[in-house]
Structure 1
Amino acid sequence: MTRRIGRFRTALTVLAVWNVLAGAALVGAAPASAAPAATEVAPGVEYTDFDIVAAKGVAHAHVLSIDLRAPHVRVGLLYPGVVAARAAVSELADTAGAVAGINGDFFNITETQHPGVEATGAPVGPAVADGRHLKAAVPNGQRFGPALPPGTTTEEVFGVGTDRTARLDRLALDGSIGTDEGDLPLRGLNQYALPEGSIGAFTSDWGDVSRERAVCGTDTDRSAPCSTDTYEVTVTDGRVVATAGSPGRGPISSGTTVLVGREAGAQQLRKLSAGERVTVRHRLVAAKARVPYAFAIGGSPVLAGGRPLPGLDDTVSAVRTAAGIANGGRRMLLLALDGAPEFRTGLTIAEVAETMRRLGATDAFGLDGGGSSTLVAREPGASSVSVWNHPSGGAERPVPNGIGVFSRQEHP
C-alpha cells in the first residue's frame, strides 16, 4: 500500500518543516500554522512530508526524523541476509522488524557492457550490519550512480557507532593472506569489482551469485572487458581445498573463503598448492571514528560541517534519497523524494544538500535514487510497513540494502 501524500498542497519552506521536526524556532520560518503536522511513527521517530519549489519544478519530500538518544530507538542495515541479493525495502523492513526505513547504496544493477556476465545486485560501498563487516568498496571507476564529488571515494559511509552517534566517515579494507611463502595483500571483500592485479576474498556473506563480475572492468572504466588472466582458490578451515582457472558461483559455507585473483593476483594464487595452510584476515578500518560502527552504509557525502561539498552537480534533477545528521550526531534525518508524475523532476544533488542543510543537518549523504527511492513506515497499530512515497517506477524496485529504524516502544 502507498500512503496518500499532499496533505498541504501549497509549497512549504523546509525551514517551517524543521520547526515541527525539531521543535525549534527558526528565523525566517513560515508561521507554525503553515507547517505540516508531524506523524509519530513510534516514540522518537517522526514523519512529515512537504513540497519544495526547485529549479525545475515542485518536488515532494518525505522525511523521517529519528532521535538516536532515545533508549528504545536504534537504526541498522536492512539487507537480504547476503551481499549479492536484492529485495523491496518494505520486505527488508518487515523481515527485520523495522518500524520504518529507506533504500540505501547504489549497486551493480546491470551488465550490458559484459554480455553473458551476471549482474550481482551487490552495493558499491562498504557495509556493516550489527557490527559485522560485510563488504568493502569497489574501485572508484567501477561505481554505479552519479559522479562522486571531488575528493571523495567509494569508501565513504554514513554510519552509527556503538556510542549511538551518527557520522560520515571512510571505511578502508585492511587485509592480508598468510601463506608459507609470506603474506599477500588482500584488496577486496565480497565486492562485485576487484582492483586490477589484486586478490579479493568472498565469504558466506556474499551469497550464491557468480563471482565472475569481480574480474571485469578496470579501476577507471567499469565497461572495460573482463580479465582473461584469473584464478580462484578455495580455503576451508585454513587450508587450500580446491583451485579453478576462473571465478565460480554457488553458496560459500561458513568457515570457507574463496580467493579470486586477476592478473598479478591470479599469478600469486597459482603458487598455492592443495593442502597448503592459508590464513585470510580482513577488517574495515575507519578514517575518523574511534569507536566501532554498529551500522554503516555506502553512498556519497553532499554536506559536511554545514557546508555543501564543492563541485556538487546543480544541473541534473532526479528523484533522490538522502540521510542527514543533526544535533551533533544525536538526530538522524532520512529523506526520500516522491516519484509521482507531478513531482518526478525531483532535485539536483546541490538542491538535496541545501534541503538537508535547511532541515537542520550539518552533514548529509546521498543514497541511490530514481526508481530505488523508497520510504516505508508503519501506520499506527499496523504490524507491517507500507510505502509512504510513490516509487518513480510505479512499484518498489528490489535493492541490496537500506537503513532501518527500530523501536521497542511501538504504538498499540
Structure 2
Amino acid sequence: MPYNPLPRSARRVRVPVALAVTSVLLLGAAAPGQLPPTGDAVAAGTEPVGRMPLGPADVPTHTRPADVLAPGVTYRKFWQGEASDSWAVWVRDRQSGTETFGSIDPARKLAADVNAAGFTARVDTFTVPASVDTDSRIVGYGVRVGRFAADRREDAVQTRQALAAAGFTNSRIFFTAEDGGASRGPWQVRVITVAPSARVTLKAVHGKDIQGSETVRQLAEASGALVAVNGSEFDITGPANNGFEGVPQGLYLQNNTLLSAPNNGRTALLLEGLKGRAAVDEISSETRITAPDGATRVIDGINRSAGHVLGCGGFGNDYRLSSQVRTLQPWRNTPCVDPDEIVVFRPEWGAATPTPVRRDDTWTDPATGWQAQWYANQRDFADHAVDVVMDGNWVVRELRAAGGPIPPGGRVLQGIGAGADWLRAHSEVGKAFKPGSTVRGRDGRSVTTPTLSAVAGGTPALVRGGEVWMNPGANGMSQASCVPAQLGPGEKCRANNTLLQRHARTLAGVTAAGELLLVTIDGRDPALSVGATLPEAAEVMKWLGAEDAVGMGSGGDTTLVAKDTLYNRPVDDWGGPLRERPMSNAVVIVEKP
C-alpha cells in the first residue's frame, strides 16, 4: 500500500485491511555499552537532530562518536536525565489478589481498608493515549502506599513488610516511573545501524530446538553473529504451552520456513524479504493440508502444544481461556484454547512431539466456570489424540497415540478432538498429504522470498511513514470491549495499560534510506535508565529517522550483544541484579565471508 504523498503533518493513516491472498509453499565481558574505538568512521544514516524526545526540554542529550563494528554497521549510545521518581508499594486486594481495578469503587474500598489499618493510601488513575485503532480513556486504578526517594528502597521494603503483617500480602515494590507519568529519567538508549550496502546477513535464529530457550549471547555465539538482540515474545514460564518455555508467541519465519504461525494481523519485523533487507508489516498466514483422498483442512498451529494458542489470533474454535467467548482476534500474552486442533511438528521443534496434557489440577473462573469445563474436556481429548507420522515428503508412515519421536527430516501431524477424528478418517499409510501456506502483509500480498526471516513484534507498530503511528488494537493490547460484537456504533477498541507503562524496550525500524535500526532502551533501574512507554519509544524511533518501526520483546527480555559483549543491562525487576534471560529466538546480524 503506497504511502500518502501529502506532507507528514497533513497525513491521516487508516488501519489497513487484508485483501486477497497469494499462495506460496512454505512448510518445507567488557563493561556494558563500552566498545573500544575503531577509528574515525562516522555512523551511517542521518544524524538525529536536537535532543532525544524523553523528559522535559531542559534535560540535555549526551552521546559519543559512533563505533564501527563492521563496514556499514555502527553502534551509538545516547543518555540523559537523572532520577526524579520514587519507590512505593502497590497494594493487592486481600481476597481477590487484584492489583489493577477496572472501576473506581473497589479501588476506593481497598484504599479505605488500608487506611483503616494505619497506613496512608492513595488511588492512582491510569489513562492511555489514543491511537489509530483504540480510544483514549481511563483503563484502571491502583492503590499505592508511600513515596520514597530513589536511594531509599529499603523504606519501601519495610512498608511492604508492615502491610503484609496487616494482611495485605503479595503487594509489590515498584518505582513510580513505571506508571508512565512525567519523569526526568534517566535513560540509556543504544542504537545499531545497518546500512543497505553492509556485507551482512539479517536473520532470525533459535537455539537447539524451538521448544527450549537460550540467552541472546548463546544464540549469537551459535550463529556467529556480529550483533544480536532479543526477538519474539514468548511464554516465559511455559504454562500456556505445557512447560515448553521457548515457544514463540506468534510469527517466526527462518529462511522462508514457517516455524510458528502468526497471531493473525499483528505487526512483525521482516528481514531479507520482498520489501528490502528490512521491513515492518502486519502479517497473517494460513496453512492448509490436502489429504490423499482430496479432503482439505486448515492447520491450526505449527510447533506448539495442540489446543493452546498463546496470544490468540488463530483459526477454528478458539476461545479465550478466561471466558466462553469465541475469538479469532489477537490478545497479547493471553491464552486461547481450542479442543479441535491439528498442529504440525517439524524437526526444529525437538526430538519428539509432546503428549497432550491430561490435566486434573483445574481451577474455576468464578463468573462462568469455563476453565474447569475446559480442563475436563482436555482430559478427554488427551486420551483421544493421534499422531500421523510422515517422512520429509509428507508420505504417511504410521498412525500412533500422540507423543513420540519425530523422524529425521520428517513431519508429524497431531490432532485432538475433531482434529484427531479428521486425521483418522483421511490418513492412509503409504500416501502423501500436500501442504501449502500463505504469508501475507497488510495489502494482502505474499511477503515471502527464499531468504525471508521474520519475527512477530512484541508491541504495536510505532512509526509509519515517518510519523508516530500505533495500532494496539490490531496487536491484542486492548480491553474486552474490542470484541466486535461488543462495540457500539462508531466505537473504537479500548487500549489497555500496556501503552502506559515504562519498561525496557527492544525496537526495530527502517529508515527512508533502507537502513535497519536495532535499538534498546534499558529500564527498571532508577540510577541508570527507567525505560520508556510505547508512545515514548515511538518518538525515539521517529527521532532516529525511522520511516517504519515496531517493538520486539521488552522488559527483562531486552538484550543487546555485539562482538561477544553484553552492551546493555537486562534486569527482571526494578532494582534487581543484571540477568541475561533465556529467550525464544533472536534477531542477528552475521557478517558475510
What TM-score range do you get, normalising by the shorter chain? 0.7 to 0.9
**Mapped contact 1:109–1:119 kept (Cα < 8 A):** no
Determine the structure 2 residue equivalent to 1:135. Answer: 260
Q: Name the residue aligned to 1:309.
A: 470
Partner of 2:187: 59
**Please, what is the CA RMSD of the aligned residues?**
3.5
Tell me the TM-score normalised to structure 2 length.
Answer: 0.55
Call closer, same or farther: CA 1:233–1:310 in 2, change over 3 Å.
closer
Provide the C-alpha distance between the structure 1 equivalents of 2:290 and 2:209, rounded to a whole number of angstroms.
23
Q: Does 1:98 align with 2:254?
A: no
Contact map agreement 1:308 1:354 (CA 8 A) in 2 = no
User: Relative contact order (C-alpha < 8 Å, sep 6+): which is higher?
Assistant: 1
Letter in structure 2 aligned against 1:203: R
Which ranges of structure 1 fall in alignment gaps of 5 or more residues?
A: 8-18, 141-151, 379-384
Q: Superposition pairs for residues 9-408 of structure 1, below 5 Å?
A: 22-24=45-47, 26=49, 35-51=63-79, 55-56=182-183, 57-70=185-198, 72-112=199-239, 117-137=242-262, 139=263, 152-153=265-266, 156-161=268-273, 164-169=276-281, 170-180=283-293, 182-192=295-305, 193=308, 195=315, 196=338, 197-208=340-351, 210-212=353-355, 225=375, 227=378, 228-229=380-381, 230-236=385-391, 238-245=394-401, 247-250=402-405, 252-272=406-426, 275=429, 277-287=431-441, 288=445, 292=449, 293-299=451-457, 300=459, 301-305=461-465, 306-311=467-472, 313-328=498-513, 330-339=514-523, 341=525, 342-343=527-528, 345-378=530-563, 385-393=564-572, 394-408=578-592
Displacement after TM superposition at 1:163 (Å): 6.7
Local SS of the residue matching 2:541: helix
CA deviations over 1:119-163 (Å, ceiling 9, x no partner): 3411112222233333322x57xxxxxxxxxxx43x744333167
Tell whether the 8 Å contact from 1:126 to 1:297 is kept in structure 2 after alignment.
yes
Quote the Cα distance in structure 2 between the aligned partners of 1:209 and 1:51.
Answer: 47
Question: Judging changes above 3 Å, is the alpha-carbon distance between structure 1 residues 370 and 6 closer, same or farther for their aligned structure 2 residues?
Answer: same
Give the Cα–Cα distance (whole angstroms) in 2 for the partners of residues 172 and 343 of structure 1: 41
Give the Å deviation of 1:398. 1.2
SS in 2 for 1:271: helix
Q: Which residue is equivalent to 1:15?
A: none
Counterpart CA distance in 1 for 2:353 and 2:245 is 7
Per the alignment, do residues 249 and 202 of structure 1 end up closer, same or farther by CA in structure 2, a change over 3 Å counting?
same
What is aligned with 1:13? none
Which shifted more, 256-265 or 299-308?
299-308
- Checking the alignment, whether the CA contact within 8 Å between 2:61 and 2:80 is kept in structure 1 is no
Letter in 1 for 2:70: A
- Identity, in percent, stands at 24
Greater Rg by CA = 2
- Cα pair 1:126 1:298 within 8 Å, conserved: yes
Deviations 1:324-358 (A, max 9, x none): 11125x10110122257324531112211111111
Mapped contact 1:173–1:285 kept (Cα < 8 A): yes
Q: Distance in 2 between matches of 1:98 and 1:181?
A: 45
Aligned pair in 2 of structure 1 residues 75, 187: CA closer, same or farther (>3 Å)? same
Q: Is the 8 A contact 2:253 2:452 kept in 1?
A: yes
